[in-house]
């Protein structure tokens, strides 16, 4: 058993697609519309197009919107992405105009940074410490 797909709610799917592909460097995987519904996913890495996908789900459900807003207001990241070069990724992502609410910071057994995805979510980048 493995995780193939997970979701984050976004307030604008077009803006989310731009952010996750152009700023973070993910690859568009699926983009299918049927009437007002749009199934939109990105792959976490262009090198692994069949790897785990992230659905950029529109927060048009009141419960989803309330959850997303509450998590953001509490400073709770909606997702965590792992990296082997947090300082390099921080500089690259920041150069693309992303707003970080926390620069790379050493915490127990890892270094983390938190950024705003511009679509209603905080995203945590994590690099595990090497012993």
61-116 residue pLDDT tens: 999 999 999 999 999 999 999 999 999 999 999 999 999 999 999 999 999 999 99
Question: What is the pLDDT, as a whole number, of residue 27?
Answer: 92
Q: How confident is the model at residue 50 (pLDDT cuts 50, 70, 90)?
A: confident
Average per-residue pLDDT for the chain? 94
Residue in the block written with tokens 């609410």: 101
Q: How confident is the model at residue 131 (pLDDT cuts 50, 70, 90)?
A: low
Q: Report whether pLDDT(48) > 90.
A: no
Nearest to 78 by CA among 23, 24, 122: 122
* Structural domains in the chain, sorted by start: 5-128 (3.10.180.10)
- Sheet containing strand 37-43, edge to edge, reads 5-10, 53-58, 37-43, 27-34
Distance (Å, whole) CA 38 – CA 27: 17
57 beta partners: 9
């Amino acid at each position: 058993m493995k995780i193939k797909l997970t979701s984050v709610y976004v307030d604008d799917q077009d803006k989310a697609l731009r952010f996750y592909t152009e700023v973070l460097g993910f690859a568009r995987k699926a983009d299918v519309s049927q009437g007002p519904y749009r199934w939109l996913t990105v792959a976490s890495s262009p090198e692994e197009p069949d790897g785990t996908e992230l659905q950029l789900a529109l927060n048009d459900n009141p419960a989803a919107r309330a959850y997303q807003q509450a998590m953001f207001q509490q400073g709770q990241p909606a997702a965590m992405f792992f990296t082997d070069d947090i300082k390099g990724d921080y500089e690259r992502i920041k150069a693309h105009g992303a707003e970080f609410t926390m620069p790379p910071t050493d915490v127990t057994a890892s270094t983390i940074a938190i950024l705003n995805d511009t679509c209603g979510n905080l995203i945590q980048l994590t690099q595990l410490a090497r012993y």
